[in-house]
Chains A and B, each alone.
Chain A
């Protein structure tokens, strides 16, 4: 670069007016998006503007989408003698495993040959061993509330208890058919009254959402084994539904399970999902399989 004018270069830039560091919203979003969630929550108390920006719906969505790529919330799912925890071979792991938990396209498996071996793997990319945030939720088998959800944060190495608040304390988690489901930074459960209970880990709030109207009148225990937040298995159809910011369901895809494979048995799938794929499990050949939706 050549500077044409003959002014001597100023050494100090301090001649400029002193003022607050302040940027347009999208610049602030760009900065905030690079911060861990604990910092963000702390920074809500810096000033009103920051509070507003960090609480902004658009930003939260953006942050969750980004953290989807970075963070994994894993739900502990110990089955004991439950028949659905039967052992199988994932193919790329040289071991027989039982699936213990699943989240965002990842599986947590324990070895059936080596009691100490735990794998966290991505059946899609066939990679294993990830840094994982563990969450633990053990619904008591009486299915009576109150219950609480324990979430472990690997950044702070601390457990946090999320107790149910009064607005949702009337809900009973549908046991047996139901599992804790994690999508992004929220956890989902199906309740006995055909609602979906949501724990938003980012905003730390409990929410209740209704089922899509297409299936809302059916017996949830029989027809709605909801395994994953935005996927509903119903009538041997696999439907992918999105709950938008407006809390509305939109049917985005529909697949007839019969077209995937005869071996599918309804209570065994899907195992987990990520953005593009739902992972299903065939009974016949004991393989983990993936199916795009």
Chain B
């Protein structure tokens, strides 16, 4: 996908984001999304495909990462690089991460799903529950007693 040599001859798919922006994407890139693939199989291909759950900036990010992912195939260095970018994004802008992940999930893009899930897993691993709550703005809805009980029961994992 996203290969430049074929781009002139490959079919172009037109997509519209929730905020009305229109994108022209090579078919090979668009078909990374199982959602779009299903829509095309259902004969929406001749029209503009609406993506009511994805905003333009997020869709832009999705496309960027689809391309990066295609480039890094068989390139371990790039793979590492892409994997390490998640930490940065999650630290600086968890909401964009969240939106990106939601879009990837909605568009059903397996390669990016693996990547973005790995990002969060890498980010979480080794962090304390308190820090995670703080960073991801998750509310601690346990009572102090409940929390103490969970800690007590699982103390080995905290040592």
Give every chain A residue within 8 A of B120 (Cβ-Cβ): 21, 31
A23 to B95, CA, bound (A): 12
| Minimum distance in angstroms from B72 CB to a CB of chain A | 18
Chain B, residues 10-24, CB within 8 Å of chain A (1/0): the string is 000000000011111
Contact B99 A16 (CB under 8 A): yes
Say yes or no: A42-B25 contact (C-beta < 8 A), given A9-B60, A21-B136: no
Give every chain B residue within 8 A of A43 (Cβ-Cβ): 124, 129, 132
Contact A1 B142 (CB under 8 A): no
* A10 closest partner in B (C-beta): B57
Q: Interface on B for A, CB 8 Å cutoff?
A: 20-26, 29, 55-58, 60-61, 63, 93-99, 101-102, 105, 113, 117-118, 120-121, 124-126, 128-129, 132-133, 136-142, 147, 150-151, 153-154, 156-159
29 contacts between A and B (CB under 8 A): A1-B23, A3-B21, A3-B24, A5-B20, A5-B22, A13-B58, A13-B95, A13-B99, A14-B93, A16-B55, A16-B99, A19-B137, A20-B136, A20-B137, A21-B95, A21-B97, A23-B102, A27-B113, A30-B117, A35-B121, A43-B124, A44-B150, A44-B154, A45-B129, A45-B154, A46-B133, A47-B133, A47-B140, A158-B159
Q: Interface on A for B, CB 8 Å cutoff?
A: 1-5, 7, 9-10, 13-14, 16-24, 27, 30-32, 34-39, 41-48, 50-51, 156, 158, 160, 204
Closest 4 CB pairs of A and B: A34-B121, A41-B157, A13-B96, A38-B157
